[in-house]
Amino acid sequence: MHASFIHVADTHLGYEQYGVRERFNDFSRAFWDVVDAALEHHVDFVVIAGDLFNKRALDALTLIHAIEGLKRLHEKNIPVIAIEGNHDRSYYRDGVSWLQFLCYQGYIKLLAPVMQNGIPQLTPWEPQSMLGSYVDLLDGRLRVYGLPWQGAATSRTLDGMAQALKDVRTVENEQGIEYRLLMMHTGIDGIVPRVQGLPTMAQFQPLREQLDYLALGHVHKPYEFDGWIYNAGSTETCGAEEAQWEDRGYYYVEIDTDEPERIIDPERKERIHHAVRLASRRRPFVRHDVRVDNLMEPAALHRRLEDYCQREGPRYQDQQPVVQIHLLGTLAFDAGSLDVSSMEELVRQHFAPLHVRIDNNTNDQDYAPDDGDIDGRDRSMWHELERRIFEDLVGRDSRYLPAREQWSTVLSDLKTSALHKDNPEQIAQFLREKRTQLFSQS
């Protein structure tokens, strides 16, 4: 048997990232590129391992874009077999997901087994009911199973699926099944540290004897293991942290079961297939960390960012990237002095981006005044404790450091005037005079 297919997941159609409409179009274009590849390679079928859509509640244009791609495959008689990801599921009050709608319209075959005591019931997908756990293709010689997002029950379901597949293996062999593929919307623990609660590699191992290809979705970082587990990653960049990962997109897989079997280990023989990960066309996504430690004034931070922009901006000429700048570290000056608008304009000048975002993830120095001689329970000492706190706070900004004791007194006086509801103009005039006086001394 000779066959080929496309394995894709996590297209997240409808994602208007950062509220930018063109990013919505980027996600659709990435999906249409996959459709183009399927038509170009004349594949026998396409599998979507979950998260075709970005959210459960769709707008009309998202649905139109999905149908526009799926319709082209339908017209060429290329079946599309899909499972629901965690982003695709319906709201409980609705009961019907948009993937089910696409199934009713004939654009996809949506697989979802009935579960009994944690064990999937392996029944064929029926056109009349549009229910079932597998589809047979290529004159019944290739079987595609589907297991949608299971959430916290994934580990238990894995055990049940391995047992169910083992129970039907003999019957499948008698039926002439030569190649078995399973779609799951889950990942493997440890691939991305911040994604928790996924099954371990050891929990997937019981499936290995029963399958030729495990098509995963959910984790946006690409990976594959041992010639049978494949995860292509997302087709577009869904977050700044994903910019560092290698190119990802989808798999083009060629199957040839007429080739001689090769021994993988004494317990298992594996049919030949060749899987190639094809990189999807994605908008450049630039993520850069700027450390603020030891920068004593806002101008120094501006210069550091400008150096980066002058160095890297020309690489993205005419590409309109998404640029995200993260400010990290401990500020040595007042956070209110950060001119985010000026920094955004600087990035625009050098990158000409589709969108720029400055994220201030800096922190202030931990306040730990030497107040061992002050008992906070003694109300008579509260004024002195407050003065020391003010002194420490203003001392973190290099502009106020030389006269921080005087400034702490000014802050205390300003607070007292405000509490007494003094005339605002008099308070402002007092601050102007003190500012002129103290800055002239430094």
Which H, E and C letters describe 140-166, residue by residue?
CCEEEEEECCCHHHHHHHHHHHHHHHH
Contact predicate 30/281, CB 8 Å: yes
Reported confidence tier of residue 334, pLDDT bands at 50, 70, 90: confident
Q: Cα–Cα distance between 245 and 150 in angstroms, integer?
A: 26
Q: What is the pLDDT of residues 231-284, one digit of tens each?
A: 999 999 998 888 888 788 999 999 998 865 544 444 444 557 999 999 999 999
Counting beta carbons within 10 angstroms of the beta carbon of residue 241, is it exposed (0 to 12), middle (13 to 18) or buried (19 or more)?
middle
Percent of the chain topping pLDDT 90: 60
Q: Cα–Cα distance between 198 and 70 in angstroms, integer?
A: 30
**pLDDT above 70: residue 379:** no
Q: What is the pLDDT of residues 100-115, one digit of tens each?
A: 999 999 999 999 998 8
Biggest CA-to-CA distance, the chain: 95
Give me the chain's average pLDDT, please. Answer: 87
Question: 220 vs 22, 82, 390, 437, CA distance in Å?
Answer: 21, 17, 47, 58
Going along the chain from its start, the domains and CATH numbers come out as 2-279 (3.60.21.10), 285-360 (no CATH), 379-441 (no CATH)
Q: Cα–Cα distance between 56 and 97 in angstroms, integer?
A: 7
Q: Which amino acid is at 360?
A: N
Residue recorded with tokens 């709608």: 101
Contact predicate 142/255, CB 8 Å: yes
Higher pLDDT, 266 or 322: 322
- For the beta carbon of residue 105, count every other beta carbon within 10 angstroms: 12
Determine the average pLDDT of the residues in 175-186.
94
Q: Cα–Cα distance between 399 and 154 in angstroms, integer?
A: 56
Q: What is the pLDDT of residues 52-109, one digit of tens each?
A: 999 988 999 999 999 999 999 999 999 999 999 999 987 765 678 899 999 999 999 9
For 153-157, 314-318, 364-368, which range has the lowest pLDDT when averaged over its residues? 364-368
Q: Closest Cα to residue 181, out of 141, 125, 221, 123?
A: 141
Q: Which residues contact 404 (CB under 8 A, 6 or more apart)?
A: 391, 394, 395
Contact predicate 229/186, CB 8 Å: no
Contact predicate 26/66, CB 8 Å: no
Q: What is the pLDDT of residues 121-142, one digit of tens each?
A: 999 999 888 889 999 999 999 9
- For the beta carbon of residue 31, count every other beta carbon within 10 angstroms: 25
Determine the average pLDDT of the residues in 397-411.
77
